């Protein structure tokens, strides 16, 4: 039976309102995806946010989000000092609140018992790839096991994490059954609604992005869809099956990846031909159906990862995807390409490469955002280091401890003489033989680069935002 996204009847609307009055939501994973969703749901429902990172939970309970995805005032407006879901763990809660109803709001915790009274469990953990670009489902599997321990008859588990088509049914549901002792689609049910979070984007926030939904049965599909409709102002699209929703998610970002790979190849070609790539794209963009993609480094938690999930599933079934993997190869090569272009530019200016002092502006995967997940700036850094250069990484948005932990790279949030790896400052700043802008943070657009440049210094602009301040650009 196909699920159709028809207008609900008056009877359905009444039943839905009654059922939603008893909705108690648990969000598993309070990162870039989970927290904005938890905050939004908490405006309409009692919500418990669960994460294994105690410092993260403590900061959220204090009303601050280190990822900067949720503004402090919005977070503080929904944060509760006690679990808003009634019927939860402690005897004290039961004695004091025996006859009270749950209240809207968000309570963040690392205690699994705080989730026991919930009836909707939404899993929003990351699904990365390993060093060989193979999907890593361990966080998803562990989250499924965690939820299975508190799963009850009638509960619904919804997955938002990006996966290959079939992963929810093949990987997650068996774990839920084993951990809970319950039977799928008899005792508990499952939905899938892929996340579409765009980190750092304050215009397209979670409630303003149309949500794809699905369920393990037609009835559950409707329930999942109604749940999201209650808070997503942009609307919802109810997919006929979980696999359709899973596939839709991976092709969204695979399509973008392929399009960016195309313009990255164009940039390489036009560079050989000594043609301004951005000028070409601007001219071609005057046609109504030309897609406005730009060349660059392709990192982050989605575009640089999702295609590998679809590719692996295709390969398991005996099909070798050509275009998808060709796009990935092209985009993964851009870090080395940028580094080589910087070195060539320095050589043309008679700059000695060994021990040259190079300033790299930015290490997050995108502008005006602290997210360093899967950033491809580290590829540029790695290849520049191979030439025995001295690198200074400056990024006012990135957390230096996180950068060091993830990549073994030292980054700085301020630019001063002490940030340089080599002595020889002039005025208040060191002079650099080369400056490479890799991320278009607003702060970088306001920098006086001339004060940072040594004699014969060069500026390379990966993002194409510096205009005539740069000697070359991607």
What 8-state DSSP symbol labels residue 243? H
Reading the block at residue 227, the tokens are: 């749940």
Sheet of strand 189-192, all strands in order from the earlier edge strand to the far edge? 105-109, 46-50, 25-28, 120-123, 156-159, 189-192
Report d(CA 214, CA 239) in Å as an integer: 5
Close Cβ partners of 188 (under 8 Å, ≥ 6 residues apart): 151, 152, 153, 154, 155, 156, 157, 176, 180, 182
End-to-end CA distance of the chain: 51
Reading the block at residue 423, the tokens are: 């002595």
- 302 a catalytic residue: yes
Strand partners, 430: 425
Of the candidates 108, 118, 172, 302, the residue annotated as catalytic is 302
Report d(CA 193, CA 230) in Å as an integer: 14
Question: How far, in Å, are 121, 173, 311, 333, 375 from residue 304 at the CA level?
Answer: 28, 27, 13, 12, 9
Close Cβ partners of 187 (under 8 Å, ≥ 6 residues apart): 153, 154, 180
Report d(CA 300, CA 371) in Å as an integer: 8
Helix 138-148 to helix 173-180 angle, to the nearest 10 degrees?
Answer: 30
Sheet of strand 453-461, all strands in order from the earlier edge strand to the far edge? 411-412, 390-394, 357-361, 432-437, 453-461, 472-473
Reading the block at residue 330, the tokens are: 């092209």
Catalytic residues: 302
């Amino acid at each position: 039976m196909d699920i159709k996204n028809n207008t609900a009847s008056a009877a359905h609307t009444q039943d839905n309102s009654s059922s939603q009055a008893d909705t108690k939501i648990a969000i598993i994973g309070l990162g870039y995806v989970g927290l904005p969703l938890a905050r939004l749901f908490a405006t309409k429902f009692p919500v418990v946010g669960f994460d294994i990172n105690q410092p993260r939970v403590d900061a959220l309970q204090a009303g601050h989000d280190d990822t900067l995805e949720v503004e402090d005032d919005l977070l503080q407006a929904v944060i509760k000092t006690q679990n808003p879901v009634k019927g939860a763990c402690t005897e004290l809660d039961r004695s004091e609140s025996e006859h009270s109803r749950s209240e809207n709001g968000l309570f963040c915790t690392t205690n699994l018992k705080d989730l026991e009274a919930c009836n909707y469990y939404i899993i929003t953990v990351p699904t990365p790839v390993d060093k060989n670009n193979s999907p890593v489902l361990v966080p998803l599997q562990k989250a499924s096991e965690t939820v299975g321990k508190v799963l009850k008859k009638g509960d619904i588990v919804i997955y938002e994490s990006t996966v290959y088509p079939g992963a929810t049914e093949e990987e997650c549901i068996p774990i839920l059954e084993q951990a809970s002792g319950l039977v799928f689609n008899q005792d508990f049910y499952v939905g899938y609604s892929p996340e579409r979070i765009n980190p750092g984007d304050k215009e397209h926030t979670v409630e303003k992005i149309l949500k794809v939904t699905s369920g393990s049965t037609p009835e559950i599909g409707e329930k999942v869809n109604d749940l999201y409709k209650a808070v997503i102002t942009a609307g919802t699209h109810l997919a006929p099956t979980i696999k359709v929703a899973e596939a839709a998610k991976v092709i969204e970002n695979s399509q973008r990846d392929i399009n960016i790979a195309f313009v990255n190849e164009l940039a390489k070609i036009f560079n050989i031909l000594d043609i301004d790539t951005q000028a070409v794209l601007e001219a071609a963009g005057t046609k109504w159906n030309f897609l406005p993609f730009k060349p660059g480094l392709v990192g982050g938690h989605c575009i640089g990862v999702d295609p590998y999930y679809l590719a692996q599933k295709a390969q398991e079934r005996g099909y070798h995807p050509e275009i998808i993997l060709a796009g990935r190869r092209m985009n993964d090569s851009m870090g080395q390409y940028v580094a080589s272009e910087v070195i060539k530019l320095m050589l043309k200016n008679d700059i000695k490469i060994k021990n040259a002092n190079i300033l790299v502006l930015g290490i997050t995967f995108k502008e005006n955002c602290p997210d360093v997940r899967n950033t491809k700036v580290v590829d540029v850094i790695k290849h520049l280091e191979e030439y025995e250069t001295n690198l200074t990484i400056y990024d006012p948005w990135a957390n230096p401890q996180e950068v060091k932990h993830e990549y073994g790279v030292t980054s700085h949030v301020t630019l001063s003489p002490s940030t340089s790896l080599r002595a020889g400052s002039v005025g208040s700043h060191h002079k650099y033989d080369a400056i490479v802008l890799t991320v278009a943070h607003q702060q970088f657009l306001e920098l006086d680069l001339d004060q940072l440049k040594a004699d014969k210094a060069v500026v390379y602009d990966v993002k194409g935002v510096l205009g005539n301040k740069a000697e070359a650009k991607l």
